[in-house]
Amino acid sequence: MSASSRIPLRLAVLCLSSSAVAVLGACSKAPEEPEFDHGLKKPIVRKLRAELKETPCDKAKAQEYAQLLMTTGDLKGVTKASDDFAGAGCGANVVLLQHAYTANARLEQKEGALKAATALVEAQPTNASYRVWRGLSQEAMGQTEGAAADYQKAFELQPDQRPILNALLKAYETLNRPCDALAAYQRYVQAKPTEANKSDVKEAMQVLASKTTCPVDAEPTDAGASEAATAP
């Protein structure tokens, strides 16, 4: 092996030693991630970024910046914008948090999505959608008990919404809680009596009722709901 060919090898060995890192700092420095290409939006992105450094708590500007990043596909930039706003002590910004949840979900950053959804629930605890978002985030992380609790709260807020019912039923099935599932169906048909005689609802309630000894709602809103809830 020639002397010239040994130089790169010796340098690589030096870069692995702690003493060499102090001397050759560049050896241990990870390559920087290239800046996202915002295309024709680059000038306005840079302008808003610079302005937010001067006024980090400008709510409208922060929302405009995050929306702009979202339209360019810079999802990591969106999550950073939301984190920077919160980190500057600017309080909750619901629009930013909505963007952050969406961006983290698309990036499959489960913890980030849960963090954003939790902040949204804390900001607006009676918003059923945010409860569902947090439930979905918890479910994605295997936290089914927490997901069921959020779905249940969302269902209490909007008991006539079938998508919320379906999410809740799925969680209860996973947790093997058939009585809670049957109670959810009973509440649903009370809130939306026209669903009581639909074949899929009746069949599902009959199956649950036949497999369990759950208490039956004593005061359904109409005869159809009563029949569906008590059928063997």
- Consecutive H or E run containing 107: none
Q: What backbone phi and psi angles, to 5 degrees, belong to 219?
A: -130, 70
Q: How far apart are the first and last CA of the chain?
A: 86
What distance in Å separates the CA atoms of residue 189 and residue 221, rounded to the nearest whole number?
8
What distance in Å separates the CA atoms of residue 172 and residue 166, rounded to the nearest whole number?
10
What distance in Å separates the CA atoms of residue 155 and residue 62, rounded to the nearest whole number?
32
CA–CA distances in Å: residue 128 to residues 52, 131, 134, 151, 173: 32, 5, 10, 8, 21
pLDDT, one tens digit for every residue, the chain (232 residues): 544 444 443 434 334 444 444 444 445 555 666 789 999 999 999 999 999 999 999 999 999 999 999 999 999 999 999 999 999 999 999 999 999 999 999 999 999 999 999 999 999 999 999 999 999 999 999 999 999 999 999 999 999 999 999 999 999 999 999 999 999 999 999 999 999 999 999 999 999 988 777 765 534 334 333 333 333 3
Stated pTM of the model: 0.77
- Which tokens hold the place of 139? 């479910």
- Which tokens hold the place of 102? 């969406």
